[in-house]
Structure 1
Amino acid sequence: MTRDTAARPQGVADIAEAEAFLAAHPEIGAFDLVLIDINGIARGKIIRRHELLPIFRSGRHLPGSILGLDVCGEDVEETGLVWSDGDADRRAWPVSDSLVPLPWTDPPRGEVRLALYELDGTPMAADPRHALARRDAMLKAEGFHPVLAYELEFYLLDRERDAAGNFQPLRLPLTGERPEGIQVYGVSELDRLEPFIDAVYSAAEAQGLPVETMISEYAQGQFELTLHHGKALRAADDLVMLKRLLRAIAVRHGMLACFMAKPFAGRAGSGMHVHASLTDEAGENLFADRGGELSPLLTQAVAGLLETMEESMLVFAPHLNSWRRFSAQSYAPTTPTWGTNNRSVAVRIPAGSGAGRHLEQRAAGIDANPYLVGATVLAAMQRGIAAKVDPGPQTTAYAEGRDDQLQPDWRSAIQTAAASAFLKEALGERMHFVLLALKRAEYRRFATEITALERAIYGEVV
């Protein structure tokens, strides 16, 4: 039996952080405890102010089954984290530098993110944050320091559905009108969204989130926000915080922030593009151009991503809806291709200065878990570099009709992931097992549902 020693894991937040925060924010009377599960969903509880310091001193018990919940929040026994485990507690500890105010709440609340550990202080292997931390440490041991940045595409929708129950684009706050046409990069659409955008930037500043450019994207009500690059774990933390922020601000402005990969048929899907590079210990970019040419280290990393992409698609497209995003002549890749300054490929080398060179992985949807995406991307890069693989020729136009198309659907992705030795090593054996158990359970849920479309087409015909 594992003994509950309340061992303090290495790297968790120090109590001085909580003491300083409480002194600086006497107005805050409650805190959200937030643990991010395998589906990227925030789970936890709200505590009172006097409960915060004890959590920083000795952690807080949470059931391990919280990481065995499907996307609907229901237990999946096949994960091994529910009744076969006795629904046993683990210990949650606060993540360093994650204690922030929630400036949109009244009365004021704060937030602290958690990571889950076994009772003896070892990382709980089904916590997705630990999967990224593990890969980050492995690369650093080889002299590579990962730098990541995530782009976040999302829809702002009206909270009221249409008569058929479908989503509707938002009404722009300053005019009350719905956007018409695509108007990608439209400045007027952003101007008419001013109260919401101001609230987002103000809240991000209060939380120390490095939010940068906002763009009107390729559909009515679709937008993109970028985050400044940073260390691997912090970059993923920033993305999950930004999604929570956007949801909360949208609700308070009468909108719905939607992070489905494809909320509308016939309109653009929403991606989570991951920008990645490696530096040395001094911070020098190891992907910087060499003699006016792409660095061999960069092209080897690209090759690793291409070689493992088919095996990794369940991480990048984890839900049934994820697969509706991939189609020809779209900005979602359908083949494992790469190229410079080409947005149709799966791995893009953006234009820009050679000194700041990096790669952009474009397969992941915004509905994916950024910790698992980051861990998988870094593991693939590490594999390509270790094997010194060549990525082959660049793609200069849209790659259509190739023989190496990615999987056609969710079920195929689950089967491929189950057989993948790479993905098991990239995520860790326990995480790989739990991910598959959850996705198989979710697939069964959808496979047994009779849809309205089926009833309309087949009901009185066959």
Structure 2
Amino acid sequence: MTSPSGSTPAEAQAFLEAHPEIEAIDIVLTDANGVGRGKIVRRHELEAIYKNGRHMPISILGLDITGEDVHETGLIWDSGDGDLRAWPIPGTLVPLHGTSPARGQVLMAMHHLDGQAMTSDPRHALARQVERLAAKGLHPAGAFELEFFLLANERDADGKVQPARAVLDGRESGKTEVYSVDHLHGMEPLFSDIYAAAKAQGIPAETVISEYAPGQYELTLNYRTDVMRAADDLVMLKRIVRAQARRHGVTACFMAKPIEKYAGSGMHFHVSLVDGAGRNVFAEKDGEGWKPELLHALGGLATTMAESMLVFAPHANSWRRFVSQSYAPVAPTWGVNNRSVALRVPAGEVKARRIEHRPSGVDANPYLVAATVLAGIAKGLDEKLDPGPETTGNGYEATSEAGKAMPVDWRAAIEAAKASEFLKSALGPDLHRTFTEIKHAEYLRVARTVSELDYHLYLHEV
């Protein structure tokens, strides 16, 4: 059958001819948690996958963060755990840097056996929102920022994670060396391999900085006119960072808050809209105020933020990131050139006018984040929503407007997401059920776990 993803056997043939050294290929399907699941296939299997797809069990999209089945998703025994068919995503067949023997990688999307999109696949949710805007003559462009920690493989004497030593010379630093260029030099061999791997995969990885915590770094990605490709970039770059860090003897950590006394890691999403003539619809003319389209988009994002927070902060650990003056937003505020708000309009050239969406942690799924953000923008445009007054100064002192109060914790976010008609529309009913049931199952797992903190607080005291 013809590939419903648009992939062709010619792509596989050209890749194999260009890379005779490659012996195997990772085929990777991204689940609701952003975990890459799939198989490693041999070189001779690749062309058949492009011709016929590859059967994979439906349950692969109904797993929790540990890989356990979540029966409430309806994706396990309700369907007999039958096979569906995964198809390659065009343009994502790439070589992997530094593997021995040499391997490649291709991202996959899940479809039913008749070729229809499997609607619990997060990538299809984003595709649907892109198509929704395209029907209005609008085309989203964007890029993600990737913050992460590089940690030592060994814990400290108290069992806590600790920043990795420099891979160049083993130098140790426990300081917050924010924006220190000299500090970056200690990780130069690792970042050189990350850049080489990104180049081999066509990923526009750009600036690296030392971030606002010991062992924390940020990589930026160049802006894409195709938001789907921007999300693919983030998925692929995380895999690169994790693999290259491991090869250099350290651990790349994408938890939102791995160290309690320091700032957590975000995944800021920059987004704009382009019309059919290639004009940025958010860009105001010289001497004029903000475009109504920009304000309505901000209004939609602010109005829907509270019920969408489970997408932006999907795990128990995610909620440790949201504290005052932490560079993580705590209210659905907007402002200009202000990093204390949730929705930032960056300074810069008018032609590059965009919204920086700041709530998401680096542990969030970029396909779900982008789908939810685009749905919020569309709602704001359709209903001409008002974002309220701009927040100036310290956004942590701002209070939520009525009806926009943020969930106070993970459980409240799960309940808000389950009840949200907006989120059901943004993700689609099937993925909405899959995602919220997975999160509910994970919440129950955490809630019934007796932790070391329990013993510390209560063992000898109550």
Does TM-score exceed 0.5, indicating one fold?
Answer: yes
Shift of 1:308: 0.2
Deviations 1:295-338 (A, max 9, x none): 11111101100000001000000000000000011100000100
User: Partner residue of 2:309?
Assistant: 313
Partner of 1:280: 275
SS in 2 for 1:61: strand
In structure 2, the gaps of 5 or more residues are none
RMSD of equivalent CA atoms: 1.0
Instruction: Measure, in 2, the Cα distance between the counterparts of 1:446 and 1:180.
Output: 30
Helix, strand or coil at the partner of 2:425: helix
- Selected match of 2:254 from 256, 259, 263: 259
SS in 1 for 2:359: coil
Shift of 1:164: 2.7
2:73 equivalent to 1:79? yes
Please say if residues 272 and 355 of structure 2, whose CA atoms lie closer than 8 Å, have aligned partners that are also in contact: yes
Moved more, 350-359 or 276-285: 276-285
1:344 aligns with 2:331: no
User: Could you tell which deviates more after superposition, 388-397 or 119-128?
Assistant: 388-397
Look up the SS of the partner of 2:306 in the other structure.
Answer: helix
Cα separation, 2, equivalents of 1:8 and 1:80:
28
Please say if residues 28 and 49 of structure 1, whose CA atoms lie closer than 8 Å, have aligned partners that are also in contact. Answer: yes
- What is the DSSP-based 3-state SS (H/G/I as helix, E as strand, rest coil) of the residue aligned with 1:279? strand
Counterpart check, 1:13 vs 2:7: yes
2:171 and 2:186 in contact (8 A); partners too: no
2:327 maps to 1:331? yes
2:95 alignment partner in structure 1: 101
Please name the residue that 1:416 is paired with.
416
Q: 1:45 aligns with which of 39, 44, 57?
A: 39
Question: Is contact 2:85-2:110 (8 Å) kept?
Answer: yes
The answer to whether the Cα contact below 8 Å between 1:172 and 1:193 also exists between their aligned partners in 2 is yes
1:438 is aligned to 438
* 1:300 counterpart (296, 299, 311): 296
Within the alignment, does 1:364 sit opposite 2:360 as a pair?
Answer: yes
CA distance in 2, matches of 1:383, 1:290: 24
1:206 is aligned, of 197, 200, 214, to 200
Partners of 1:352 and 1:126 in 2: CA distance: 38
Output aligned runs, 1:349-428, within 5 Å.
Answer: 349-399=345-395, 400=397, 402-404=399-401, 405-428=405-428
Residues 222-249 of structure 1, C-alpha deviation per residue, up to 9 Å, x if partnerless?
0000011111110000000000000000
1:100-126 Cα offsets, whole Å, 9 max, x none, are 001120110001110000111110000
- How far apart are residue 401 of structure 1 and its match? 5.9
Q: Report Cα offsets for 1:40-69 as digits up to 9, x if no partner.
A: 000001000010000000101000100000
- 1:164 to 2:158 alignment: yes
Residue 227 of structure 1: which of 213, 221, 229 is its match?
Answer: 221
User: What is residue 240 of structure 1 aligned with on the other side?
Assistant: 235
Q: Mean alpha-carbon deviation: is it higher for 183-192 or for 150-159?
A: 183-192
| 367-376 vs 294-303, which moves further | 294-303
| TM-score scaled by length of structure 1 | 0.97
- Give the letter for the 1:327 counterpart: V
Give 1:454 shift.
0.8
Q: Which residue of structure 2 aligns with residue 4 of structure 1?
A: none
CA deviations on 1:180-204 (whole Å, 9 max, x unpaired) are 3212111111112111111111111
C-alpha distance in 1 between matches for 2:272 and 2:450: 45
Say which SS state the counterpart of residue 152 (structure 1) adopts: strand
Query: 1:283, CA displacement in angstroms?
Result: 2.2
Contact 1:62–1:90 (CA under 8 A) maintained in structure 2 = yes
1:28 aligns with 2:22: yes
SS in 1 for 2:220: strand
Q: Which amino acid aligns with 2:246?
A: V
Aligned-partner SS, 2:208: strand
Match of 1:217 among 211, 216, 219: 211
Q: 1-side partners of 2:274 and 2:372: how far apart? A: 18
Instruction: Look up the match of 2:122.
Output: 128
- Quick check: 2:3–2:51 contact (8 Å CA) kept in 1? no
Structure 1 residue 460: deviation in Å? Answer: 1.1
- Cα distance in 2, alignment partners of residues 104 and 131 from structure 1: 33
Deviations 1:238-290 (A, max 9, x none): 00000000000000000100000000001010000000000012322111113
**Kept in 1: contact 2:332–2:400 (CA 8 A):** no
Q: What is the 5 A alignment of 1:58-73?
A: 58-73=52-67
SS at match of 1:282: coil
Which residue does the alignment assign to 1:456? Answer: 456
Contact 2:85 2:113 survives alignment (8 Å): yes
1:9 CA drift (Å): 4.4
| Letter paired with 2:227 | A
Amino acid paired to 2:424: K
CA distance in 1, matches of 2:192, 2:386: 46
The SS at the match of 1:116 is strand
Q: Name the TM-score, length of structure 2 as normaliser.
A: 0.97
Cα shift at 1:458: 0.5
Conserved 8 A contact 1:260-1:321:
yes
SS of the residue 1:303 aligns to: helix
Contact 2:3–2:52, Cα closer than 8 Å, also in 1: no
What runs of 5+ residues in structure 1 fail to find an aligned partner? Answer: 1-6
